[in-house]
Structure 1
Amino acid sequence: MATDMLPDQPRDEQLEITSPEQFKALGHPFRHRLLFALGQWPATISQLAASLGAAKGTVAHHLGVLRDAGMVRVVHTRPVRGGTEQYYQRVARRLLVSPGHPGATGAMLGAVAEEITAADDEPLLLLRHLRLSAAQAERLRAALLDLVEDTEDAGADEPRHGVLVSLYRQGARPSTDPAAVPSS
């Protein structure tokens, strides 16, 4: 998407998702796809519809929900035949969902699944469980964060790649020991 006609719009570094409207906005995978698409450059409803393979009405509806939740904003307008074209942009470079909100996590993973399904090539998707000490887990977390944060964007002429990084401690699993199962 060409952006040379757009003014430089400063964005916050981070937006912490805290309000019910924001969590509701994250409740639909398509809204995550819109947020991903608006992560780099502003775009119009028509541009988003074309790049995401969706109807303009669908894009407009979901952008309205995100706008009402304070997650996207109009950063530029320009007159076009009989109307005004609006360019939307995410309000922050990074959106942070506080821990303990599984609905938002599920919606985000659903959006990532849609993106992976539509990928042009064979995506790398790996799940591995490791037994780590607290110190090892913290080192791995820091290394993953550094790797993603320090990777430079190659510019508008290069294809976009999605990067999903997660490190989590698994919760307690139910015991499979028959002696631990209460009898009726």
Structure 2
Amino acid sequence: MRDQPPYPPPPEDVLEIGTPEQFAALAHPLRQRLLFTLGHRPATTSQLAAQLDAKKGNVAHHLKVLREAGLIHIAETRQVRGGTEQHFQRTAHHMVVAEPQAAGTAAMLTAVTQELHRSPAEPHLTLRHLRLSPAKARKLGEMLAHLVDEADDNGEEQPLHGVLVALYQQALPASSTSSTSSNC
């Protein structure tokens, strides 16, 4: 008996990440990279292993973790050379982590670092610190999200680009309340 329908529904538009299993699944850089890759079209374990330069058994293990967490599903199966080929797909086009956890954030940044290292073109990477009111920070976040959401996808023939957008309030240093000393 199958645990998935023969023709699963198309991916949801947005999936909110919230279960412990989902957070655990997001806590590994290869699983992050698999989700990045599956964000565009379904792929087999062999295709993913080749594209990510990873061992097929390792990819299969991480696909199982992602599937058990409900982040991917089997989109299609077909018989090939006496076996069954499975095509995996994300369960949603966009995945939103309402309350990010440190392990998942660290894994995502590690996955992005790996992608930057493998990029055939020079990446654009900028870090700025801005003093913003809460209202201006909220507006900037909305503008950045809108800019990325509205970017045109020019189709299969164009190079694939990754976009990482992060807006965060910088933590105050632990010594920010310490008093100044006259022994300078």
Q: 1:158 to 1:18 in 2, by over 3 A?
A: same
Q: CA deviation at 1:100?
A: 4.6
**Separation of aligned partners in 1, 2:86 and 2:100:** 35
Q: Name the structure 1 match of 2:26.
A: 26
Corresponding residue for residue 80 of structure 1: 80
Question: How far, CA to CA, are the matches of 1:22 and 1:81 in structure 2?
Answer: 34
Name the residue aligned to 1:49.
49
Please name the residue that 2:167 is paired with: 167
Do residues 62 (structure 1) and 86 (structure 2) align? no
Q: Is structure 2 residue 111 aligned with structure 1 residue 116?
A: no
TM superposition shift of 1:137? 1.4
> Structure 1 stretch 100-109 or stretch 154-163: which is displaced more?
100-109
1:134 matches 2:134: yes
**CA separation of 1:8 and 1:21: change in aligned 2, threshold 3 A:** closer
**What is the rounded CA distance, in whole Å, between the counterparts of 1:47 and 1:83 in structure 2?**
16
Give unmatched runs, 5+ long, in structure 2. 1-6
Query: Residue 4 of structure 1 aligns with which residue?
Result: none
1:176 to partner: Cα distance: 5.7
State the secondary structure of the residue aligned to 2:179: helix
Q: How far 1:167 moved relative to its partner?
A: 0.7
* Bigger shift: residues 26-35 or 130-139: 130-139
| Structure 1: 5+ residue stretches without partners | 1-6
For normalisation by structure 2, the TM-score amounts to 0.89
Counterpart code for 1:154: N
Deviation, 1:173, is 1.6
Name the SS for the 1:48 alignment partner. helix
Q: Give, in whole Å, the separation in 1 of the partners of 2:92 and 2:83.
A: 28
Amino acid at match of 1:78: R
Give 3-state SS (helix, strand or coil) of 2:16's partner: strand
Structure 1 runs of 4+ aligned residues shifted over 6 Å read none
* TM-score, with structure 1 as normaliser: 0.89
Distance 1:175 1:53 in 2: 45
Superposed CA offset, 1:135-154 (max 9, x none): 22122112111110001111
178 and 169 in structure 1: CA distance in 2 versus 1, 3 angstrom threshold: closer
User: Paired residue for 2:4?
Assistant: none
